[in-house]
Amino acid sequence: MPSFETTLPPRLSAGDTVVAVATGFPGSKVPPEVLSIAELRLSEMGLGTTYSPNAFGNDGKAPTIEERASDIHNAFTNSSYDGILSIIGGYDTNSILPELDYEMIQQNPKTICGSSDLTSLLNAIHAKTGLVTYYGPHLSTFGQQIFDEYTRESFESAVMEDKPYILPISASWTDDKWYQDQQNRSDHPNFGPWCIQPGYHESDSIGGNLASLNLLQGTEFFPEKDNPIVFIEEIARNGLGFFVRSLHSLAQSQRIGGLLIGRMQLGSDINQENLSECIASVKLLKDVPVVANLDFGHTLPMSTLPIGGTIRVETDYDQSTITIINH
């Protein structure tokens, strides 16, 4: 696989416009009031919002593969847009990867951010162009009436500022269906990161949703790196067995220099004890620093992390510090 020089996209700033795209599910799955609130939240950051031509699909159906690819091309090449946000996730974003013109994307670098199923697109773009992409909130994530400042501040630190920053630790977290009932929110105290294996490592980063990242194994779209920091998260319904076998597979395909694991959902059967046993079973992770219960994944709040940036992990059983250096 050819290697590309890492490229940081221009920072977003007040007055810029972000275009929302649908790469999996159609935007019609998001309630209109959620989108309205999201547009307001972005405007409070000085950002305007618009939507790609096929963002809402057709009669409730997702845009076709060709329509989704066309929207990505338009998002990167249209000079009216300064950044790109996914509206929502899905399950087949990887279907559009062979349809994309990566040279066109490389020649028109822009900030692109999303999470979950967007993992495949974000890592593929970095692998094929060298452009740093961002694993963080969807547009719909900003649609909460009771919004957490952590998510907003992390997004701003990652895509609107150019200085290193330490990944903060949230005071509390939620795993509720807020999009169905905006007022019925349930907070849980955050007791901080879990140091699974102590150590220090600094390197380039790749990652996202574990199942979606593993879809890229053996393809030209997997971002091969030298001992990267890998950050992963997984949805509750996949469970411990799925997580264990998926982690073995990832470690066999990519030598990992440091591992960051996002917070598990309430319905997950994964806890600190069995996660530690899982990590110990992966001999390819021996002596690799591992930190879990971090603020990214399918719970809120959600930090924004660079794919292709530089991250430093310093962890022991008393304290863990994650520094985002180059983003």
Catalytic residues: 116, 233, 298
Rounded to whole angstroms, the Cα distance separating 303 from 135 reads 8
Q: Which two tokens stand for residue 155?
A: 């997004």
User: Could you tell me which residues are beta bridge partners of residue 109?
Assistant: none
Cα–Cα distance between 133 and 214 in angstroms, integer? Answer: 18
Residue 42 contacts residue 142 (beta carbons within 8 Å): yes
Collect all residues with Cβ–Cβ distance below 8 Å to 274 and sequence separation of at least 6. Answer: 240
Q: Give the Cα separation of 55 and 298 in Å (integer).
A: 22
Tokens of 317: 């059983």
CA distance 76 to 84: 8
Bridge partners (DSSP) of residue 262 are: 294
Q: Smallest Cα–Cα separation from 174: which of 182, 166, 163?
A: 182
- The span from the first CA to the last CA of the chain, in angstroms, equals 23
Residue 189 CB contacts under 8 Å (≥ 6 apart), including other chains:
171, 172
Cα separations (Å) of 157 from 136, 319, 325? 12, 22, 11
DSSP annotation of 131 = B
